[in-house]
Amino acid sequence: MTEPNTFQSHPYEQSSEPMTIMDVQESDCWPVDDRSVSGTKDQLADGLHPVIAIGGMTAADGRPLNVTGVVVSIAVTAAGTATDRVEVNTADGTIVHQYVSNILTYSGGAPNTFETTPVMGYPVYVDDSDDLSAGVTLSMSPFNTAGLVNPLAGHLWYCQDEIADGQAGGSRLTSTFDLVLPNEATEQSYCVRLSSGQHHEAAA
């Protein structure tokens, strides 16, 4: 199992466009710092680029219809400062490189089922569960460990060299989609096509 301790750093971009940069306060970003089920997520810092949700963490505050996006930069006063300004790319269609957990469902507050053969186009969610490592914000589960609906972040996608004819001469790199993952909680690096502003309700 891959266990990253910090958020995705460089290189994180797989597409240079589209870009819709929004300024938000650090306190409105999650799961960041103590704003997660575990309360021990990594802190934002220059050079780190997690996919996050913006706004409320409860159904009463608008979850799961949050804006989502990838952190581009942060003007850091000190780690965890609530009023620090964060620049987030909220554009639909941006492709980024991120760690994704293969957890599909939780039961009794623990991971219950796992995806072993992820396919291109599979939905991924911003997940604030304590079962994800400190550097991971995405999973394949539409609900978190507490039963709250997770915001849709996007979909698993090809990295630039994984698609047919993606390399010089017409070949392609062996894809992450060629891998079979263990039937247990596993955090694998994938390219993700972000879908900010496109939401759907998880099945009850």
Query: Which DSSP string corresponds to 37-72?
Result: SSS-PPPP-TT---EEEES-SSGGGTTTS-EEEEEE
Rg (CA), the chain: 16
Does residue 16 fall inside a structural domain? no
Give me the pLDDT at residue 137, please: 95
Q: Containing domain of residue 152, as a range?
A: 21-194
* 10-residue stretch averages of pLDDT, the chain, 204 residues long: 57 66 94 86 87 95 94 86 92 93 96 96 96 93 96 92 60 72 94 76 47
146 contacts 111 by C-beta, under 8 angstroms: no
Does residue 189 fall inside a structural domain? yes
Measured at the alpha carbon of residue 167, what is the angle toward residues 164 and 171, in degrees to the nearest 5?
A: 55
Does residue 13 fall inside a structural domain? no
Does residue 10 fall inside a structural domain? no
Total number of domains constituting the chain: 1
Does residue 180 fall inside a structural domain? yes
Does residue 140 fall inside a structural domain? yes
Does residue 86 fall inside a structural domain? yes
pTM of the model: 0.86
Give me the pLDDT at residue 179, please: 86
Give me the pLDDT at residue 80, please: 77
Measured at the alpha carbon of residue 3, what is the angle toward residues 33 and 44, in degrees to the nearest 5?
A: 25
Does residue 132 fall inside a structural domain? yes
